[in-house]
């Protein structure tokens, strides 16, 4: 009888464990493993007996065709998928000639060293030269999510605006709304310090990037814990009740923390152009940055120069190094030595890219965040002006105007209950009709998107084409803390008054006291908000004006309803009345309460000086006496604002008690959010 011999491991054998990584601290280990065991069992043994972190462990398949089994790169080894670990044995993937098992696992990194070097838990501020780390530490790094990358990339970065230049100089290469906001903030600070050129500049440079790992802070308080000093500074600022103190905090602790950081090395190179002479009057040679496409062509071709037309591109020189072992001078830059230093020692790594910046205040406990949000107050998140052309076919039929141009981030903010957003709108008639005027109301269905309801009020119905300009704005809290420095001067307050009493009129004192010694009565602007629109209320126009309550420095609101279908004053429907009170604004000439002028016919009006920009103003009428109240509307076009009364065919009691119009009795509150602080 013949026997077929087969080599079989029946017990643990001495196996050399080689860990593939970029860290020099990882050495080969001698371990005892059973080659007949499935990889799933081997994984468990490596974790329990030898302390190998299996979170990032990958088994690598050795091929007999590999000539260099000591190669430390990853290209000659195939990674084993986790789902196959219960099918494959150790014997099937190891180097059986030398009893070597290759694995790839988490790099053994001294995080204290890297954090000391890169200051992951310090706040940052964008500047025109580089990202600036704060002097004071805002957080303590407790943990993070680590992912190996090990990629190399070459290319060209271009920037055509100062904003793009600042973003890429500060190592942000992917744009989101938060990055844009912090760039905007950095530009604002730069202007105040006169650090920015008044001219837009375009530029480019060639780069080489070796990305080794990424770290992410996904769980705010578990990964980054606020320091006692930071908490103490925030509590002190809240207690002061002065939003300006948060500006001081950002100067000491930084503005934001990147929630994702790429570590490795990055090198920048410039290109030199030699011209035949028409670029400059006194020189035949000028140094500029080459076009991105041309640099890439030169780089791909691996030539020392690239010529196109009358320009010759000479060999590039290194202008900036981030990470890696630095040479004696950039002129002596040795690419091979620099790349080797990144491979051999993680201590040569540095931050080469930042992503997902969030405000330092965003990472505080909920109670402190909410107190800051309330103290900073509400701001205008978005404003726009849109054209609307439509045709009136029947009386009492309003036009529903969808806010289709609203940005996605603003739409999400409106849905965020913590932001407590409100929409205000206004309209002007571009046809300058003598008798017709238009009003705006807001429709906010409980589970739907907000939109505007436009009513046309006519003395006598007639079909007509309407050409309107509609202004609208979204006001709410900054829940992401991306407020702009100048906004600290703004004081916007929104009051909400529910009306469900179904009376002909509603007169209410607002829950607000103004300071009589600070300035005159602050401008108040109102807008009615409906939750539904159907046959019961679609022809109802809710009018309003404000009045001086003449007690305890309070302001009152007077509301009424008019039906455009039957030309009657009617009972008020269910609605919420929103009042915007502007106590202060960072652009002084954007808001005011001003008196009317009077024509020869004693008709009140406000001259807009034939505003060729045709920007709609947000307006409300204000009565200086609490007894002087009554139904009245305001009409606005690009030339004037004037009062309008309507014909009523009913016999309602207040019809015979109209608001008295005279120089000392009425004024107009006006707000223009579209005006620039540089105008």
DSSP 620-677: EEEESSTT-----EEEE-SSEEEEE-----S--GGGGSPPP--TTTEEEEEE-TT--T
> How many CB atoms lie under 10 A from the CB of residue 523?
25
pLDDT at 58: 86
Per 3-state DSSP, the chain is made up of helix, strand and coil in percentages (nearest 5) of 20, 40, 40
pLDDT of residue 559: 96
Instruction: Tell me the C-alpha distance between 411 and 474, whole Å.
Output: 10
Q: What average pLDDT score do residues 395-419 get?
A: 91
Per-residue pLDDT of 4-40, as tens digits, reads 334 455 688 999 998 876 554 456 889 999 999 999 9
Phi, psi of 311 (to 5 degrees): -120, 140
> Whole-model pTM?
0.72
CB 443 within 8 A of CB 434: no
Report which of residues 612 and 502 the model is more confident about: 502
What is the overall mean pLDDT for the chain?
82
**Six token digits for residue 331:** 């002129």
Lowest mean pLDDT among 118-127, 145-154, 169-178, 350-359: 169-178
pLDDT tier at 524 (50, 70, 90 boundaries)?
A: very high
Token duo for residue 328:
């004696």
Across 57-71, 78-92, 655-669, the highest mean pLDDT is recorded for 78-92
At residue 55, the pLDDT reads 66
Q: What is the mean pLDDT of residues 276-302?
A: 32
Distance CA 666, CA 643 (A): 10
Structure tokens at 56: 């990032």
What 3-state DSSP class applies to 47?
helix
Q: Report residue 254: phi and psi, to 5°.
A: 90, 170
Q: Specify whether the CB–CB gap between 458 and 439 falls below 8 A.
A: no
Higher-pLDDT residue of 188 and 140 is 140
Residue 335 to residues 209, 272, 306, 320, 645: CA-CA distances in angstroms? 12, 19, 21, 13, 80
Residue 195 has pLDDT above 80, yes or no: no
Residue, of 569 and 3, whose pLDDT is higher: 569
| Token pair 């009057």: residue | 281
Average pLDDT of the segment spanning 312-330: 80
**Predicted local confidence at residue 190, as pLDDT:** 57
pLDDT confidence of 678, banded at 50, 70, 90?
low
Distances in Å between the Cα of 123 and the Cα atoms of 146, 363, 480 are 20, 11, 16
Residue 656 pLDDT: 64
Which run of H or of E encompasses 529? strand 524-530
Please write the tens of the pLDDT for every residue from 421-444.
Answer: 999 999 999 887 888 999 999 999
Domains of the chain, each with CATH number or no CATH: 13-105 (3.10.20.90), 111-191+203-273+316-359 (no CATH), 374-476 (2.60.40), 491-671 (no CATH)
Does the pLDDT value for residue 477 go beyond 70? Answer: yes
Contact 489, 586 (CB under 8 A): yes
Q: Which residues are 453's β-sheet partners?
A: 400, 441
Q: Per-residue pLDDT averaged across 616-643, rounded? A: 92
Which pLDDT score, from 0 to 100, does residue 25 have? 45
DSSP β-bridge partners for residue 18: 102
Residue-level pLDDT at 227: 97
pLDDT value for 179 = 74
The mean pLDDT of 445-460, rounded to a whole number, is 92
Most distant CA pair in the chain, distance: 130
Q: What φ, ψ does residue 192 adopt, rounded to 5°?
A: -65, -30
What pLDDT shows up at residue 611?
63
Residue 42: pLDDT band by 50, 70, 90 thresholds? very high
């Amino acid at each position: 009888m013949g026997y077929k011999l087969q080599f079989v491991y029946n017990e643990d054998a001495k196996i050399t464990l080689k860990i593939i990584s970029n860290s020099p601290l990882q050495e080969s280990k001698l371990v005892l493993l059973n080659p007949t065991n499935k990889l799933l069992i081997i994984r468990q043994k490596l974790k329990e007996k030898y302390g190998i972190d299996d979170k990032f462990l990958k088994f690598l398949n050795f091929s007999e065709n590999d000539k260099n089994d000591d190669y430390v790169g990853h290209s000659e080894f195939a990674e084993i998928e986790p789902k196959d670990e219960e099918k494959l044995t150790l014997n099937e993937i190891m180097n059986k000639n030398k009893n070597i098992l290759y694995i790839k696992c988490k790099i053994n990194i001294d995080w204290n060293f890297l954090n000391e070097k890169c200051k992951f838990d310090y706040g940052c501020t964008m500047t025109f030269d580089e990202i600036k780390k704060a002097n004071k530490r805002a957080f303590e790094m407790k943990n993070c999510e680590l992912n190996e990358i090990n990629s190399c990339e070459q290319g060209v970065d271009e920037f055509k605006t100062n904003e793009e230049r600042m973003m890429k100089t500060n190592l942000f290469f992917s744009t989101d709304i938060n990055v844009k906001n912090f760039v905007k903030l950095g530009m604002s600070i730069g202007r105040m310090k006169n650090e920015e050129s008044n001219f837009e500049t375009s530029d480019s440079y060639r780069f080489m990037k070796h990305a080794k790992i990424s770290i992410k802070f996904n769980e705010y308080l578990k990964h980054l814990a606020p320091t006692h000093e930071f908490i103490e500074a925030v509590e002190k600022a809240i207690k002061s009740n002065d939003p300006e103190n948060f500006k001081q905090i950002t100067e000491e602790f930084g503005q934001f923390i990147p929630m994702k950081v790429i570590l490795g090395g990055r090198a920048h190179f410039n290109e030199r152009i030699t011209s035949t002479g028409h670029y400059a009057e006194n020189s035949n040679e000028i140094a500029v940055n080459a076009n991105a496409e041309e640099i890439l062509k030169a780089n791909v071709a691996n030539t020392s120069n690239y010529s196109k037309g009358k320009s010759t591109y000479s060999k590039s020189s290194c202008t900036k190094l981030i990470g890696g072992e630095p040479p004696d001078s950039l002129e002596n830059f040795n690419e091979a030595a620099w790349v080797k230093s990144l491979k051999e020692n993680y201590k040569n790594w540095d931050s080469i890219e930042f992503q997902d910046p969030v405000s330092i205040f965003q990472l505080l406990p909920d109670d402190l965040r909410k107190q800051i949000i309330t103290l900073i107050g509400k701001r205008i998140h978005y404003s726009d002006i849109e054209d609307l052309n439509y045709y009136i076919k029947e009386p009492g039929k309003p036009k529903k105007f969808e806010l289709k141009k609203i940005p996605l981030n603003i739409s999400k903010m409106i849905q965020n209950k913590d932001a407590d957003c409100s929409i205000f709108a206004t309209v002007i008639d571009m046809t300058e009709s003598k008798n017709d005027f238009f009003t705006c109301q807001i429709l906010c269905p409980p589970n739907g998107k907000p939109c505007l309801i436009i009513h046309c009020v006519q003395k006598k119905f007639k079909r007509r084409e309407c050409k309107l300009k509609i202004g609208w704005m979204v006001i709410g809290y900054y829940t992401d803390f991306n407020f702009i420095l100048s906004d600290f001067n703004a004081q916007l307050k929104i009051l909400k008054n529910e009306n469900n009493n179904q009376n002909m009129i509603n007169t209410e004192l607002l829950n607000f006291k103004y300071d009589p010694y600070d300035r005159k009565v602050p401008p108040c602007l109102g807008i009615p908000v409906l939750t539904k629109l159907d046959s019961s209320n679609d022809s109802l126009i809710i009018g309003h004006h404000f009045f001086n309550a003449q007690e305890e420095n309070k302001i009152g609101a007077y509301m009424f309803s008019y039906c455009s279908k039957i030309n009657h004053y009617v009972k008020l429907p269910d609605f919420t009345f929103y009042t915007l009170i502007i106590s202060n604004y960072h652009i002084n000439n954007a808001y005011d309460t001003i008196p009317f002028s009077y024509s020869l016919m004693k008709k009140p009006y406000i001259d807009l000086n034939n505003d060729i920009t045709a920007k709609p103003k947000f307006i409300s009428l204000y009565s200086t006496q609490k007894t002087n109240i009554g139904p009245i509307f305001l009409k606005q076009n690009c030339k004037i604002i004037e009062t309008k009364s309507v014909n009523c065919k009913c016999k309602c009691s207040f019809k015979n008690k109209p608001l008295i119009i005279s120089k000392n009795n009425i004024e107009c509150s006006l707000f223009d959010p579209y005006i620039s602080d540089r105008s």
